[in-house]
């Protein structure tokens, strides 16, 4: 039996390098997420002049993620993870530049366009968690995936708190203070892109492909298009259920998270985005993001030890409690913040477990196609949630948004419970 040079590599060593490279890149690329979440909703209302547009920025971010997830997967199949992930971050860097320009000229359309491009960074971050499973041992797949997800905690938690130091940088450069956080985000993504480009060698997906093919050219891979994703769903019902569960969890989380800055702004004494209010919003989003990512290693351990479906069900139950609490205690700021933290924890459990399940339930030749399609479905669901959040809040207030999110969480929990019982 012949073996390619790559098949003789120490795959364990390659996996360790992959884990640490992706984790380091996530730290820096994650800066953009928190900054956009903190300022996006407020700037959208400010530039558009109507609260109904409060969710426009985050909708654009999620649409950017949704529209680029499948193309990035197709690029990964052709060129490997390194080129695909680095290319995505280059697009996101352009987005941060556009956000700076939007603040300078106070343009709502440019804000939306920049947010869309920044969404590519989220697609990269989502696919990074799958990249770490390419060479992972089955018994460690959940933990390796969760560690890379955890790494984004540092950048994403600090991101919302870059408003104040970013303002200092922006003023020093003669720019509006709101542009500063986006400048720092751009710098972070440049560093993250460099880490991936130089550190993700050898490419884990290319190594996996050559090992599976035993040195022969890879053929017969699944179509990494939306049509190919649908075909995988029809062939593997469990994978389809996983996608629905993750999409539901993601939509519920995004709906409440997107409207929280606007709600807290309303709950302030003046109802205007003053420095103290912005600081509180930034802290809230930071704590929420910490809930999303900080406990990821625990979620990975639970996934490997007690089962992925049970972990996902636990996460969805937590989401249900969080959304219900946000609706019931919407005038109590500390309790709203606590519910936002729980919202993040529930999302973490559902997403880590669901991502692991997607890798476990599919043969290798179908995984990349399904992963890109799943990320696209998740992001389109989140975009719909963010877009509808503004009108729902205008009609039914913040409690109305939370109740709708609770209903979505309940539906996803029913599906997860059905599979967990098998």
- Tell me the three-class secondary structure of the chain, residue by residue: CCCCCHHHCCHHHHHHHHHHHHHHHHHHHCHHHHHHHHHHHHHHHHHHCCHHHCCHHHHHHHHHHHHHHHHHHHHHHHHCHHHHHHHHHHHHHHHHHHHHHHHHHCCHHHHHHHHHHHHHHHHHHHHHHHHCCCCCCHHHHHHHHHHHHHHHHHHHHHHHHHHHHHHHHHHHCCCCHHHHHHHHHHHHHHHHHHHHHHHCCCCHHHHHHHHHHCCCCCCCCCCCCHHHHHHHHHHCHHHHHHHHHHHHHHHHHHHHHHHHHHHHHHHCCCCCCCHHHHHHHHHHHHHHHHHHHCCHHHHHHHHHHHCHHHHHHHHHHHHHHHHHHHHHCCCCHHHHHHHHHHHHHHHHHHHHHHHHHHHHCCCHHHHHHHHHHHHHHHHHHHHHHHHHHHHHHHHHHHHHHHHHHHHHHHHHHHHHHHHHCC
What CATH number did the domain enclosing 351 receive? 1.20.1250.20
**103 assigned to some structural domain:** yes
**406 assigned to some structural domain:** yes
Give the confidence band of 273 by pLDDT, cuts at 50, 70, 90. very low
Give the confidence band of 143 by pLDDT, cuts at 50, 70, 90. confident
Q: Is the pLDDT of residue 316 over 60?
A: yes
**Structural domain count of the chain:** 1
Range among 64-68, 288-292, 345-349 with highest mean pLDDT value: 345-349
**364 assigned to some structural domain:** yes
Tens-place pLDDT, residues 145-197? 888 888 877 766 666 666 677 778 888 888 888 888 888 888 889 999 999 99
**1 assigned to some structural domain:** no
Domain containing residue 230: 8-216+223-420
Position 99 scores a pLDDT of 92
Give the confidence band of 401 by pLDDT, cuts at 50, 70, 90. very high
Q: Whole-model pTM?
A: 0.74
Tens-place pLDDT, residues 113-126? 999 999 898 889 88
Mean pLDDT of the chain: 83
**3 assigned to some structural domain:** no
């Amino acid at each position: 039996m012949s073996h390619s040079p790559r098949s003789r590599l120490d795959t364990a060593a390659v996996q360790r390098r992959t884990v640490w490279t992706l984790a380091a890149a996530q730290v820096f690329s994650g800066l953009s997420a928190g900054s956009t979440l903190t300022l996006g909703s407020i700037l959208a209302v400010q530039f558009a002049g109507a609260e109904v547009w409060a969710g426009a920025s985050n909708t654009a971010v999620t649409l950017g993620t949704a529209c680029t997830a499948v193309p990035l997967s197709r690029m990964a199949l052709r060129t490997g993870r390194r080129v695909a992930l680095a290319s995505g971050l280059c697009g996101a860097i352009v987005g941060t530049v556009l956000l700076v320009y939007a603040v300078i000229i106070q343009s709502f359309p440019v804000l939306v366009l920049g947010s869309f491009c920044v969404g590519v960074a989220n697609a990269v971050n989502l696919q990074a968690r799958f990249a770490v499973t390419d060479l992972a041992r089955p018994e460690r797949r959940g933990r390796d995936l969760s560690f890379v997800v955890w790494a984004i905690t540092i950048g994403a938690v600090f991101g919302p708190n870059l408003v104040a130091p970013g303002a200092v940088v922006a003023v020093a450069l003669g720019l509006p203070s709101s542009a500063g956080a986006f400048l720092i985000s751009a710098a972070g993504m440049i560093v993250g892109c460099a880490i991936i480009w130089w550190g993700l060698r050898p490419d884990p997906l290319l190594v996996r492909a050559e090992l599976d093919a035993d040195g022969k050219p890879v053929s017969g891979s699944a179509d990494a298009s939306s049509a190919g994703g649908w075909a995988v769903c029809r062939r593997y019902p469990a994978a389809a259920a996983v996608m629905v569960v993750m999409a539901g969890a993601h939509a519920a989380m995004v709906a409440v998270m997107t409207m929280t800055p606007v709600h807290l702004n309303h709950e302030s004494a003046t109802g205007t985005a003053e420095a103290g209010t912005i600081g509180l919003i930034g802290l809230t989003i930071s704590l929420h993001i910490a809930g999303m990512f900080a406990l990821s290693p625990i979620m990975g351990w639970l996934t490997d030890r007690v089962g992925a479906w049970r972990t996902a069900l636990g996460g969805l139950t937590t989401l249900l409690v969080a959304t219900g609490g946000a609706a019931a205690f919407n005038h109590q700021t500390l309790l709203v913040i606590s519910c936002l933290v729980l919202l993040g924890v529930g999302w973490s459990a559902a997403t880590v477990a669901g991502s692991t399940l997607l890798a476990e339930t599919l043969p290798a030749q179908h995984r990349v196609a399904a992963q890109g399609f799943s990320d696209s479905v998740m992001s389109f669901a989140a975009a719909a949630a963010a877009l509808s959040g503004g009108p729902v809040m205008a009609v039914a207030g913040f409690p109305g948004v939370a109740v709708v999110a609770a209903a979505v969480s309940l539906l996803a929990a029913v599906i997860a419970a059905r599979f967990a019982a098998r």
